[in-house]
Amino acid sequence: MIPEVLGQLATAGGTALIGAMATDTWNSVRTGFAELLGRGDQDRTQEAGRRLESSAAVLARTGGAERELARRMQAEQWADELQALLAERPDVAERLRELVARAQADGGPAAGQTFVQHNTAQAGGTQNILQSGTINVHNGPGHAG
């Protein structure tokens, strides 16, 4: 059993990792996480890199309503793996904190971050927009719904 703070760090790591998959800095973030998960072993590092790429590919080809579920499942999977790593090697916690901070600074989602998206349908059009988190729909003046 690891301390709660390391469990929270592992969860943040899984979330940051998944968030970074859709950014321009994915390659550097992936390399950092692969090296961390490889525990200093070249073969393990390469295998971790392949699994990270596979995870990113799953998210890239998943769309619609399934996308958010896939993101959550992938984040939980990586958080579990990071938690196992921290249980084995608590000395890597600072390196994981650095990777989480880099992923978040480079465009990954920070905890509690809010995104605003404005969509306009005209001429009686309807839009169905899916994004993560809570969706609040406000109809414009004169629009029933």
Question: What pLDDT shows up at residue 8?
Answer: 87
Whole-Å CA distances, 114 to 67, 85, 89: 18, 30, 33
> How confident is the prediction along the chain (145 residues), in pLDDT tens digits per residue?
567 888 888 888 888 888 888 787 888 899 999 999 999 899 999 999 999 999 999 988 888 778 888 888 999 999 999 999 999 999 999 999 999 988 887 554 444 444 555 667 777 776 655 555 455 555 666 555 5
- Name the pTM for this structure: 0.68
- What string of DSSP letters covers 28-87? HHHHHHHHHHHTT-HHHHHHHHHHHHHHHHHHHH--TTHHHHHHHHHHHHHHHHHHHHHH
